[in-house]
Amino acid sequence: MQTTLSHTALDNTWGAGLAFKPFDLLGDGQLSVDFSVHALTKYPSGGGDVLMGSVMTRDDTLGLKMKLTHMRLGLCVGANDIETILRSLPTIALRYEIQDKTARALAHWWQAQSVCVQVLHPAISGSLGHDHWRALCAPKGGWGHAAGLFSVMLDPRLTSNQVDAFCDQLEIFRIGYSWGGPISLVVPYNVESARSAWPTGLQKGHLVRFSTGFEAVHDLIADLSHSLHHCLNFEGC
């Protein structure tokens, strides 16, 4: 009988190695992974201008297999890109914390907007996944870490044109799918086209995702407020 070994890999790009320990998720050795994968393009680079990733393990046997696979596939990255990542790593914790604080401030602002029917941010009490986040990222209470990503669900009575007008009118936020860089980003999502069924616990409406950069919080809120006013009064819908 042939035995097949299975391993568990975790995409730790969101956590960036700071929000939790991927090789000991609950701190008691009961929940862990074999591989921790990062998109170095995001928080490690800090500039969003490097296309690179990493795969890590603390198992010597798996590490050797990874090295052999790397060698046989001829994978490589440019020396200048590596230099950029190494130069940015010393500031990753500082940058991560700043973007985290900004995201929470914006998420709380959205909670007070009547046009918003749901805020999706793991560190916000009552949000989907909050209990799971607290168990992994803030097991002893306190602030915890939650990156710079969050989404809002806008009132379903808005039209798609109004939501697009809101995103287009933003001046500080740029439209983009990536995150972890110095510039705040926004992108609307069509949930129904991306999912076979509507996710449990998700309110009906228009989903818009935000990624925070290093701009001042009050400037970002002013940008959102101005654009939201334009969206609600947009006549081309």
pLDDT by position in tens, the chain (length 237): 555 668 889 999 999 999 998 888 877 767 788 999 999 999 999 988 899 999 999 999 999 999 999 899 988 888 999 999 999 999 999 999 999 999 999 999 999 999 999 999 999 999 999 999 998 898 888 889 999 999 999 999 999 999 999 999 999 999 998 899 999 999 999 888 878 788 888 999 999 999 999 999 999 999 999 999 988 887 554
> Is residue 15 a contact partner of residue 138, using CB atoms and an 8 Å limit?
no
Q: What is the pLDDT of residue 133?
A: 94
Domain ranges of the chain: 9-90, 91-232
What's the residue count for the chain?
237
Q: What is the pLDDT of residue 162?
A: 93
Instruction: Give 179's contacts (C-beta < 8 A, 6+ positions apart).
Output: 42, 148, 149, 185, 211
Q: 113-127 burial string, b = 16+ CB within 10 Å, else e?
A: eebbbbbbbbbbeeb
Q: What is the pLDDT of residue 180?
A: 93
> Is residue 118 a contact partner of residue 202, using CB atoms and an 8 Å limit?
yes
Amino acid sitting at position 77: V
Nearest partner of 209 among 106, 57, 140, judged by Cα: 106
Q: What is the pLDDT of residue 181?
A: 93
Nearest partner of 148 among 26, 40, 54, 42, judged by Cα: 42
**Model confidence, pTM:** 0.90
> Is residue 213 a contact partner of residue 186, using CB atoms and an 8 Å limit?
no
Report the SS3 class of residue 185: strand
Output the CATH code of domain 91-232. 3.90.1150.10
